Amino acid sequence: MNKNGQNGNVTVLQVNNIKKYYPSIKAVDDISFEVSAGEIASILGPNGAGKTTTIEIIEGLRTKDDGEISYFGKFREVNSEVKNRVGVCFQENSFFEDLTVSETIKLYKSLYTKSLDTKELIEIFELGEKVKTRIRHLSGGQKQRLAVALAFVNDPDLVFLDEPTVGLDPHARRNLWEIILKFKSRGKGIVLTTHYMDEAQQLSDRVYIMDHGNIITRGSPQELINSSGLESVIEFPEEYSALFEDAIVAGEYAYLHTRDTVSAIRELLKNNVTNFVVRHPTLEDVFLKLTGKKID
Amino acid sequence: MKKYWALFVSLFKQLFLRSKESVFWLAIFPVVLFLILTSIFGNMDENVQFRVKILGQSSTLKEVLSKVEQMDVEFISDYSQETIDALKKNIEEDKLDILVILSENFDRSYSSALLLRKTLLFRQVPVELYYAPIRQSSAIACDVIEGIFNSMDVVENVEYEVHDLSQKQYDYNNFIYPGVVGMAIMSTFLFGFMNDLIYFRRKGTLKKLSMTPTKITTVYVTAAIVNVIIMIVSLIVLSLVASLLKVNVLSYLPSTIVHTLLSCVVLTMLTLAIMTFSNNSTGLIIFQQIFFQLQMFVGGFYFPLKTLSPFIVKLASFLPLTYTVDGMRAAEGMNSLDLNHFIVPLIYLAVSTSIVLLRSKKLGVSD
């Protein structure tokens, strides 16, 4: 087995051909990927694509029907050694609501054999003003920051972050991105599931796009954009989508991915459509092109 | 050890110290329940009719007693020993307040005594009174009967023989104390422990804890220990209040410790066993309610089982806490069941433990 990831770092997670079938659906169908130390791998996909099931199988919360998972190159199952080196932030987090922030951090610190310094953690996640506040009195954003802080409390080598910036304002989101990048630079392997395409594009070293239980494409954000063959994207009101055979409608807008930008603009102007935007393609456009769906 | 202590302290703060609901339901509620029950049932004698049975016939007494509205009097002629024993037992069981045994031909003997007093032929008329002075209604009934005899100017002519049939078991304050202890145990486990686990499971707290190296069973056991400590605090407060109301708390102490600890273990395992069958909170809440209502109303908590119908007694004999409460009452001779008080709870413990061991994976948070 390859012990090193693409950038020469140690592979902290290797997933080979895992499957999870339910009577009516193939929730996870033969998925393989790997995560190296110091790498952020993002899993993207529309609702029901199998992202959460995949992550929960890896976290040991669900059983798999087939396939193999290797943690840190030597463990085949989630035992206490693995748990000591893994951090998790779920999409929905629940704490003991009547404990304070510092009590909660101390509790989780005590459950692991190694941990980060409480003060450092509080400082990094900007929870200093709230250390003595009971969790039930925190705002949604503060709770979310605490949830992410707890994912790093044991100074883990591999971290799963499921929608870590949901509910945060744009400023707080960017702050959290910086924190995540800081931990990445410390050599942590991070698996990120997010529906914010800009987040995935900004943070990820590798992106895995899932649909119907499969990984339909993989690569760095730039690789995915380059390999998509998209030169430019034209956004215009959806009522004019009939003008182009391959326009994709998502909500109030239609999106045209094209190499012949000039001809497309001419066609729009010819039909008196002036409220359109031409821009470079993003990861979101790749996602839209591949799945035909826009993530809300 | 450090992590167990940290988990214990956190759960103790979460489930007790900082939970207003928990302080009410687990510490204040049993005391309030005890005070309500004793104030309703402990002094109810004051407003009831006095149940009087008079063995023998006396038209004089009949006429006098008919004028006392609160007296529900019945005259009986059967002087057989069986009848007398049955009537005495009725007093012991609080079905009768006073039994007056007149001599045969009381009226004639009484008239003779009146006529012949101060002569050598004078003979006092013997009258026996049986009552239970520990009960207010019985004591008052006796006072009234004595007052009537006094008003008939029979003091010199009638020879009283008063018999105290007081039995400990029908002092309601003493009787209800184990029942409220049973309620406190049930509240702790059905509405404390089980609800805590349902809540933590539903909200995802257990899922988060399961991702740490701590075993989820450690969390369950710690939560159970915290609830037992909460219950002990609750029982201490309850016992202090009960001792102020003259409940013989010290005499109950050994049986309270033994039966309470056994039922804690039984209910912990029963709760976990039930949780292996249902992941949805609705199912668990239905179980809680059925078990709670059945145990509370037919388990002999508030009234002596022996006064209930045979069907109810049979039903109660299948419930574990019936034995906890009845076992405690045995310390004061107030038990209704002559069965061993440990067998049924131990059967529950064995079956629940087997289920938990066989289905332990279902207690986790994974699929």
Could you give the ipTM of this predicted complex? 0.84
DSSP A101-159: HHHHHHHHHHTSSS---HHHHHHHTT-GGGTTSBGGGS-HHHHHHHHHHHHTTT--SEE
Query: What are the φ and ψ backbone dihedral angles of A173, each rounded to 5 degrees?
Result: -60, -45
Let me know if B200 is exposed, middle or buried by CB neighbors in 10 A (0-12, 13-18, 19+): buried
Judge if pTM exceeds 0.90: no
* pLDDT for A6 beyond 60: no
Give the pLDDT of residue A3: 42
* Distances, alpha carbon B106 to alpha carbons A33, B55, B311, in Å: 107, 10, 44
Compute the distance between CA of residue A273 and CA of residue A268 in angstroms, rounded to an integer.
5
List, for residues B3-49, the tens digit of each pLDDT value: 889 999 998 898 888 887 777 776 677 777 778 777 766 654 445 57
Mean pLDDT of A254-280: 90
Domains and CATH numbers, chain B: 2-42+171-363 (no CATH), 46-162 (3.40.190)
Compute the distance between CA of residue B216 and CA of residue B198 in angstroms, rounded to an integer.
14
* pLDDT for A56 beyond 90: yes
* Count of CB pairs separated by less than 8 Å, A with B: 75
Cβ contact (<8 Å) for B203 and A62? Answer: no
- Smallest CA–CA distance, residue B220 to chain A, in Å, is 15
User: Is residue B118 very low, low, confident or very high in pLDDT (cuts 50, 70, 90)?
Assistant: confident
Q: How many CB atoms lie within 10 A of CB A250?
A: 16
- Smallest CA–CA distance, residue A150 to chain B, in Å, is 10
Among candidates A84, A94, A112 on the partner chain, residue whose Cβ is nearest the Cβ of B204:
A94
Of residues B319, B187, B174, the one with CA closest to residue B255: B174
Residues 6+ apart with CB under 8 A from A238: A249, A251, A252, A253, A254
List, for residues A165-174, the tens digit of each pLDDT value: 887 888 888 9
- CA dihedral of B41, B46, B51, B52, whole degrees rounded to 10: 140
* pLDDT for B155 beyond 80: no
- Mutation target vs A (from B205, B208, B216, B219; most A CBs, 10 A cutoff): B208
Residues 6+ apart with CB under 8 A from B325: B178, B179, B181, B182, B259, B299, B300, B301
pLDDT > 90 in chain B, percent = 22
Residues 6+ apart with CB under 8 A from A68: A14, A15, A16, A17, A18, A76
List, for residues B182-191, the tens digit of each pLDDT value: 998 988 888 8
Q: Which residues does chain B have within 8 Å of residue A61's beta carbon, measured at their own beta carbons?
A: 207, 210-211, 365-367
Compute the distance between CA of residue A106 and CA of residue B57 in angstroms, rounded to an integer.
83
Dihedral class, residue B264 (left if φ above 0, else alpha if ψ from -120 to 50, else beta): alpha
Give the pLDDT of residue B321: 93
Let me know if B250 is exposed, middle or buried by CB neighbors in 10 A (0-12, 13-18, 19+): exposed
- Smallest CA–CA distance, residue A88 to chain B, in Å, is 7
**HSE-up of A79 (CA within 13 Å, CB side)?**
7
Of residues A123, A125, A105, the one with CA closest to residue A115: A105
Look-up of token digits 């949604």: A140
* Distances, alpha carbon A25 to alpha carbons A12, A50, A55, in Å: 30, 10, 17
Q: Of B26 and B350, which is predicted with more confidence?
A: B350
With vertex at residue A295, the alpha carbon angle to CA A13 and CA A234, rounded to the nearest 5 degrees, is 120
Give the pLDDT of residue B46: 44
**H-type alpha helices, chain B:** 2-12, 20-22, 29-41, 59-66, 81-92, 106-116, 136-151, 172-186, 194-203, 205-210, 216-244, 249-275, 281-298, 310-316, 320-330, 343-358
* Distances, alpha carbon B10 to alpha carbons A107, B215, B218, in Å: 7, 16, 13
Give the residue on A whose Cα is nearest the Cα of B2.
A110
Q: Of A88 and B77, which is predicted with more confidence?
A: A88
Give the residue on B whose Cα is nearest the Cα of A107.
B6
Among candidates B3, B205, B214 on the partner chain, residue whose Cβ is nearest the Cβ of A94:
B205
List, for residues A184-243, the tens digit of each pLDDT value: 999 999 999 988 888 999 999 999 999 889 999 999 998 988 887 777 889 999 999 999
Q: Would you state the structure tokens that stand for residue A278, as one six-digit string?
A: 């031409």
| Mean of per-residue pLDDT scores for chain B | 83
Give the pLDDT of residue B169: 47
Among candidates B11, B214, B366 on the partner chain, residue whose Cβ is nearest the Cβ of A111:
B214
Q: Which residues does chain B have within 8 Å of residue A20's beta carbon, measured at their own beta carbons?
A: none
Give the pLDDT of residue B161: 73
Q: Would you state the structure tokens that stand for residue A232, as one six-digit string?
A: 């430019």
Among candidates A63, A94, A98 on the partner chain, residue whose Cβ is nearest the Cβ of B19:
A98
* pLDDT for A132 beyond 80: yes
- Mutation target vs B (from A94, A97, A143, A161; most B CBs, 10 A cutoff): A94
Q: Would you state the structure tokens that stand for residue B183, as one six-digit string?
A: 């309620």
A184, containing H or E segment = helix A170-185
Q: Of A40 and A5, which is predicted with more confidence?
A: A40
* pLDDT for A120 beyond 70: yes
Compute the distance between CA of residue A144 and CA of residue A163 in angstroms, rounded to an integer.
10
- Smallest CA–CA distance, residue B22 to chain A, in Å, is 12
